[in-house]
Each structure stands twice: as structure tokens, then as C-alpha cells.
Amino acid sequence: MNVTNPTARLPAKLHRRVCLVLTEDAVLAEELLARKKLASEVAGRLSEKVLLIRPGRLDAVLDELRKMGHTPQVVGK
Amino acid sequence: MPATPETDWSSRCRDALARYAEPLLRSVGDKLVRPRSKQPTDELLDKAAAMITNAPVIDRRIKEQPPASRKLLAFMGVSRQPRWKVGHLLTLLAALDHNDGFSPVQTLLETGLLFPELDPQHPPIDSFASWFGLAGTHNAVVFAHPGVAARARGEDFGLPNLASDDTHATPRAADGFEWPLRLAAVWQQVHADTMRLTQGNTLFKRDLVRLQSDAVLAAPPVDQLASIADAGVLALLWARAVGLLGERDGTLEASTFPTAWDGPLFALLAELFAAMPLVEPWDPLAGYSPPENGLSPTPTAGLLALLLARDFVHPTAVAEWLWSHHPSWAGVIPTTATDKGAGWVRGYLLGVAYPLGVLEVSGELVRLSTFGRHVLFGEKEPPAPPAFPQTLLVQPNAEVLAYRQGLTPALIAALSRFAAWKGIGPACTLELTPEQTYRGLESGLTLPMIVQTLNRHGTRPVPPGVADLLQRWASKRERITIFSSAVLVEFQTPAELDLAVSRGVVALRLTDRIGMTADGGEPSLSHLRLIGNRDYESKPQRCLTTSDDGVTLTVDTPQADLLLEAEIGLFAEPLPIDQNGGRKFRLTPTSLRRAIDSGRPLADIDGWFAERSGAPLSSAGRLLLLGAQMPPPLAVRLLVVKLPTVEIADGVAQWPGTRALVAERLGPLAVSVNEEHFEAFRDALRELGVNVVG
């Protein structure tokens, strides 16, 4: 499409009700993935700082993060 | 029996009436509304609901009731609790020598001054007696409109005057903060770690011990006149009764502080007082004691004890009266106690009611305080205590001193959200900790709000070191953000994502093509043309095709979701993107082995393929994954005998003359025979007239 047209609607796909973990930096994301229990709840890594969580596993992820001593900010619970 | 959050009692009364079968509704309507003509049901319901708030009419209806029914309503009025178990009400009446059974309750139900509390699935009621018979004494709950119960408060209970002739000095009263503080502390405990309940709705031993040994909750109150058992458990049950804790799926969880905590102290204390009859499985002597028959004598004996203390009385005199009049209370007094329950009464009056501010004491004597007479009998409310807004002292070691006289319910609630209670005394101590700061921030507070609360109520500003600590703890929370239910917007090209960011459609870039609004919410759709819409809480969609070779996987891009993109890499290697932008992957022994090594068993892989492609892992995939683990294939020389029809082949495989000579059925028309058995096989068939050629 012509992206220079300021009025054009942008074709996009919506992914609703996605559970994500955003980390401050890539090293922190690596640290989380190194935790076996947490890694099993991660469906994949969207980018170096964004982890995609399996549906319905939010509480397990939160518990594990808190066990690791992290204090995650939860948006939209 | 947990507190009801419903406050619109007129609607509740109307809803209850609407659950009556029509003949019963008309019968109740005739007594309450007294219509001159037959009215449509809806009109009758509206009029009945309106009549319940008409004070002169209600006064007349109450006056028409028999004494036992009037007293029953009066008990509800003085307790300020509109919901009671029928069993408790009958116990109260029995203590006043009204042994008429269900009759006083039924009379009030039939007049529309009392209503049964019904399950949503309960069929329409056609008779109160049958409802009561089904619900049972221990479970049947009735409610009255608080306005109606309040109009009955003036009824004389006929209780004896137990006033002591002893001279008494100037009485003293508690400040009323003890129980709000303890309830806040137990709220904090549950907020930090929820409590599961057993199937019998009782506490697990672990939680019971936790409450019994907690340094704050188990400590004696500041102005202790009598000790009570399991004060922490009482705080928990009371917090639940007053709506500070809620139950969800058999687990006690911290609720948000009810609105009463935003108001003045006396209003909150009145709420706590009203919730006292809902606290059942507790006893001043035994502590936590879930009643075996479902009815604890604590609510009824406690209310009667308060009513007997209208003037200065000795707890022993109250105990003696209860001993001889209450139908079940004496049964909970330990057989070893020789004081006829005086210890129980002292514990309830001095350990529970006095710290609540309902009673005042003079030496050994107790009586209702001005506030107590206000809540029970509607007398004039005492003046509010003087305010001391600057009552906190934040110390450099992150401890906070809260001088009790300056506390308010709102400040107690605010502090409970971000500072851990360490001691409840004349000067309460709290501690600012990373965990508690985190919980405060998670509850919706911001760092400026926390600092502002400490500064506004502080005798001096928050020390810089503590402000730094709070800042550091708050920043730590910013390191990981979890979006529990975000909406991601996937664009086709990075340039389109750039454009979307510049238009403000999305604020955060997650990948080079995927973005999201700042709060993970729904983006403005006016700038978007939707080409796909996935819901990740729904079942995953099929978006993968396995080619005939069994190892090449083609992604249906418009149907694909992020989970597929993330997961397929576990099973397969990506192939170069084709000219049309289609994405393909290939199964390899290495990729499948990687999936197994990462903890996905074959059953999981099969399930994943079934969800995503409609069929389990292909045979070729199984060969790649399992081939090396199977016994080695065997190469043998066999003769293949092709038969003319399936029926003949079936016959050869079945007939005893040839069955033992067939090595294997190879297909519908073919069997294999070992070379050494072939002659015998041919001879056997020849006997049947079937000649094997070749």
C-alpha cells in the first residue's frame, strides 16, 4: 500500500487477549528464559525484550517471577 | 454467613416478593398494602416495595404484630444487621421465654415485614412453612428492610434490670481504633497470601496457626481488660463479615476497602458492630470453633449481653442471666469452668465490645457507652473525636510511627496498602518494605501518592533516604511489565508500523511489524483496515498444511497467530520465503529431536499438529523422530502370492489348511509365504482345486 497517503487505512491483523512479558532489557529476558519453570510457560520470544506467554498461564508466570524476587507491574489484570 | 454487598434493600424486598407464587404474594400484599381492588402483580410489587419505606404505615403494621414478632424485629433493629439466620432469631426469642417456634417469623413473613433469602435457583414460594421446612433451622436466612427493623427498636424486650448498686468511678471508654487496626492488619495478611478454605468452609490448620502466631494479630490490645482466644481468627472472620475480605472459589481474598473506611470513625464502627452477628465460628474462650450443628451461640449470647448492659452491670450478673435463659449458650462453656460463663461474658464484653467503643467500664462494671446507645437504640451520636492530621513519623530506617489519636479509617486503609503493620499500640509501627510498596503500587497507588500520604500526615517530611528507597523499589517494578490481556496490532510491513506510530494508533513497538497501545488496550480502529482478528483465549485455529511429502509445512499466513509463529520453530526449520510471501517450514530429525529435548513429548507434538493442521504428526515426521529408536528393519526373502479376490484372500488367511503357512497378510489381495512352506501351501490349495501359478 502507499504509506505516504496520510488518510489511508493501514491493513492490520489484531491479536486480542495476548499475555506478554516486557522486560527492561534483553539480558533480563534471557535471565527469565533461563529459569526452567518460567521458560515452560513462554510460548515464544517476539523480540529480544518481549516474551509471549501461553494462554491461561498468567498466574503461574506471576508466581514464578515473584519467587525469583521480581516485582512485575501487571497491566490489565 | 458473609456480608451482603447489596445495599438497595427496597429492591431486595421487591425481588423477594417477586419470588412468591401469586396467591402468596396477594396474601402478603393484602396485609402490607391492603389494596382496595385487585391489582396487577407488577403494580402490587411496586406498591409493596414503596410501602416498606413508608414510616407511618410500617409503625402501624409493627404495632399490629404479636409481642414475639415485634421483639424479633427489634432484635434485628438493635443489632443493625438486617440478615439473620432464623435459628438465631428463634434462639433470641427463646431466651425471652417466647417458645412459639417458627410462628413469630411466619407472622412477619406473611405481613411483608420480613423476607426469606432465596437461592437464585429456588422455585417460587407458595408457603413459608414449606420453605422453612426445606431450608432448615440452620440455613434458613431472613432479612428485613433496615428501615423497618429500625422502627421496631423501641420495643421493650422485657429484659431484667441487672444494674449494680455498687458505686462507680468516672467510666472510661476505648478510642475505637483497636478493631479497625486489627481488621486492616488481617486484610494485609490475606492480601499478601490468600487463604484457602476446606470443603467444609473452615480454615486449614496452616492458616489457623498463622493467625494464632502472628506477632501483630496475636498481641494483646493496648487497653486490655480481658483476654480473648484467637483474636487473629476473630479479626479474619469479622473482616470477612464486613466485606473487607471476599471469597472466590473457596479462597479468601482481600477486597478493596469498603466505602465505610472513607468516612468518620463512628460510621465505620457502626458497620463493624452490624457485622458482629455474622461472626459465628468463634468464641471468646475457645477461640476458633466452627459450630457442629451450624448455629453458634456467640451472636445471640453476645447481643443479649450487650442489651443487658444498658446500665452499669457486673459481667457475672449478665452471665448468670444467660446461664439460666439462653437455650444453648451454657453448652459451650467448658465443664471445668465454675463461673457459669462469667469468663465468656467478660471476654465478649471487655475483649470485643469495649475495644469497639460500644461499652464503657468503671472498675468491674460495664455499660453501653454513648456510642453504644447510639448504635443499638438510635440515641444521639456522640461528637467526633478531635482530629490530629499530622500523626505519622517516618524514620530514616523506613519504619513509620503512627500515633493512634491522629488515625482515621481512611488513613488506616491507605497505610495498609503500602506499609506493613508491625505493631498496634498507642503508637503503631509500620514498615516500608519492597514487597509492601509493590503491593501498594499494584493496588493502583502511584509513588507520588504514597509519598504524599506520608508527607501530608507526617510531623516532618519523608527523610531523603526513605524517599530514595521508595523510588528504587518503585523503579524495580518498572523492570518487568506483564500485559495480561493486550491487543497487539500486526502490520504487513515495518513502514506501516512506523506510520501507525506517527498517527498515534500504537505507542509501543514490540517487533519491526507489531505494535501496541501504551496500556495494551484496543487501538483506534478508524485508522486500520482489519485483515485478521485472533483471540488468544479461544481455541487455536488451523493454519498449517502438511504437504504430501509429510515434512513440508505451509503456513496459512492470514489465519496464523503469534503462538504459531513462536511455536513452530520448536518443531521445524524455516525455509526461504517464497515469491508470494508464503512461509514454509520443514521437519527434520534435528528439529523434532529439539522439540522432544525441550520437554514436549510425542503426545504433545501430536496434539499441537492436530490443533494446527487437523492431523497428528505425519508418518514421515514419525519416521524422522522415531525411526532411529525402533528395532532395525529386517530384509528377508518371501514369496508373494496374489489372490484373485478379497474373499479368497480372506479364506486363505482363515482356513486352517493354509493359515499356518501364511507368513503375513500384505494387503487385500496379497499374502506372503516363506519359501520353505511354499510347496505345502500350493499342495493345500491344490486339494481345493485352486492351482497356484508361477
**What pTM did the predictor assign?**
0.75
Residues of A in Cβ contact (< 8 Å) with B438: 71
| CA–CA distance, B368 with B358 (Å, rounded to integer) | 6
Q: What digits encode the pLDDT tens for the residues B485-544?
A: 999 999 988 999 999 999 899 999 998 889 999 989 999 888 899 888 888 888 878 889
Rounded distance, CA B189 to CA B211, Å?
9
Q: What is the pLDDT of residue A4?
A: 58
Contacts of B434 in chain A (CB under 8 A): 71
Contact by Cβ (8 Å): B358, B302: no
**Does A3 contact B495 at a Cβ distance shorter than 8 Å?**
yes
> Given an 8 Å threshold on Cβ–Cβ distance, is A16 in contact with B565?
no
Closest B-chain CA to A44: B566
A contact test, residue of B482, B493, B516 with most A CBs within 10 A: B482
The pLDDT score that the predictor gives to residue A5 is 67
B569 chain-A contacts, CB cut-off 8 A: 44
Closest by Cβ to B567, choosing from A43, A61, A73: A43
Nearest Cα to Cα of residue B137 among B376, B332, B327: B327
**Is the CB of residue B434 less than 8 Å from the CB of residue B194?**
no
* Minimal-distance CA residue of chain B relative to A4: B499
Tell me what pLDDT residue A1 has.
52
What pLDDT score was predicted for residue B1?
47
pLDDT, average across residues A39-43: 88
Question: In this complex, is the C-beta atom of A60 within 8 Å of any C-beta atom belonging to chain B?
Answer: no
The cell for B448 is 507520588
Sketch out chain A's domains with CATH numbers: 19-67 (3.30.70.1220)
pLDDT of residue B105: 93
pLDDT in tens, B94-149: 999 988 888 999 999 999 999 999 888 888 888 888 888 888 877 899 999 999 99
C-alpha to C-alpha distance for B326 and B348, rounded to whole angstroms: 15
Instruction: Tell me if A47 and B531 make a contact (CB, 8 A cut-off).
Output: no
- What ipTM score was computed for the predicted complex, to two decimals? 0.95
Round to the nearest angstrom and report the end-to-end CA distance of chain A: 37
Q: Which of B445, B446, B484 to mutate to test binding with chain A, by most A CBs within 10 Å of its CB?
A: B484
Contact A74 B473 (CB under 8 A): no
Distance in Å, alpha carbon of B192 to nearest chain A alpha carbon: 12
Please check whether residue A10 touches B, CB under 8 A: yes
Q: List CB contacts of B204: < 8 A, sequence separation 6 or more.
A: B195, B196, B197, B198
User: Longest Cα pair distance anywhere in chain B, in angstroms?
Assistant: 129
Per residue in B261-293, is it b (16+ CB within 10 Å) or e — as a string? beebbbebbbbbbbbbbbbbbbbbbebbbebee
Closest CA to B28 of B100, B85, B86, B106: B106
Instruction: State how far residue B562 is from chain A, nearest Cα, in angstroms.
Output: 8
Nearest Cβ partner for A73 among B478, B491, B514: B478
DSSP B118: -
With CB atoms and an 8 Å threshold, state whether A10 touches B491: yes
Measured distance CA(B563)–CA(B536) in Å, rounded: 8
| Gap between the Cα atoms of B289 and B233, Å rounded | 10
pLDDT of B636: 79
Contact A17 B535 (CB under 8 A): yes
Lookup: cell for B568: 513452530
Please check whether residue B164 is in contact with residue B317, taking contact to mean a CB–CB distance below 8 angstroms.
Answer: yes
Most distant pair of Cα atoms in chain A: their distance: 50
**What is the grid cell recorded at B439?**
503491593
User: Residue B620 corresponds to which cell in the numbers above?
Assistant: 514421515
Dist CA B466 CA B215 (whole Å): 25
Burial label for B230, CB within 10 Å (0-12, 13-18, 19+), is buried
Considering only CB atoms, which chain B residues are within 8 Å of A40? 599
> Residue B36 burial by CB count (10 A; 0-12/13-18/19+): exposed, middle or buried?
exposed
Amino acid at site A20: L
Of B485, B496, B535, the CB nearest to A10: B496
Q: What is the pLDDT of residue B341?
A: 87
pLDDT at B339: 79
**The residue type at B499:** L
CB atoms within 10 A of CB B185: 26
Amino acid (1-letter code) at residue B337: A
Q: Are A34 and A42 in contact (CB under 8 A)?
A: no
Q: Which of A1, A43, A72 faces B566 most closely, judged by CB atoms?
A: A43
Cβ within 8 Å, pair B529-A52: no
Query: Which residue in B462, B460, B457 sits closest to B432, CA to CA?
Result: B462
Nearest-Cα distance to chain A for B260, in Å, is 25
Interface test with A, best of B248, B441, B480, B524 (most A CBs within 10 A): B480
* Mean pLDDT (10-residue bins), chain B, 694 residues: 58 90 89 81 86 90 92 95 93 91 91 90 86 82 93 90 77 91 95 89 91 89 85 94 92 92 93 94 90 84 94 92 91 78 92 94 91 92 86 94 92 95 92 92 90 94 94 88 93 90 91 91 90 84 89 86 81 83 87 84 89 91 85 84 92 91 91 90 90 83
* Partner residue facing B479 (CB), from A16, A23, A77: A23
